[in-house]
Amino acid sequence: MEIREYKTYNELEILRLYTSVGWTAYTDCPDVLRKGFANSMLILAAYEGNRLLGIIRTVGDGHTIVFVQDILVFPEYQRKGIGTALLQAILDRYSHVRQIELATDNTPKTIAFYKSMGFYEMSEIGCCGFMKG
């Protein structure tokens, strides 16, 4: 497996990836997703040869805040360390940034994953988060 910057947007493979994990809010509006990719700070992808396995997409300024907007791995490649490698690559690249955040589903699986990577729930560090629905 190789992790490299995702530079050329391939709509078919990205829509296939998002569909495979059930993120239809993205796939229902492909033009918006394309614009989101175009305006992202950094997108890294995991590949096996030329086959896309997963991506991680960040937004922010890269100095005071990095927000992990998306991290997705095709279901058939999950639980093989790909998500961990993608997130670790972001943590390594932005190790100088104090505030690295993300929002995720409130499931035992996702909570355990992000805690294993050194993340805390905001309430554990005296903070709270808000999101406009």
> Three-state SS across 82-131?
HHHHHHHHHHHHCCCCCEEEECCCCCHHHHHHHHHCCCCCHHHHCCCCCC
pLDDT value of residue 62? 96
Q: Which CATH class is domain 2-103?
A: alpha beta
pTM attached to this predicted model: 0.93
Q: Which tokens hold the place of 88?
A: 């670790």
Q: What is the mean pLDDT of each run of 10 residues along the chain (133 residues)?
A: 96 97 93 97 97 98 97 96 97 96 92 94 91 86
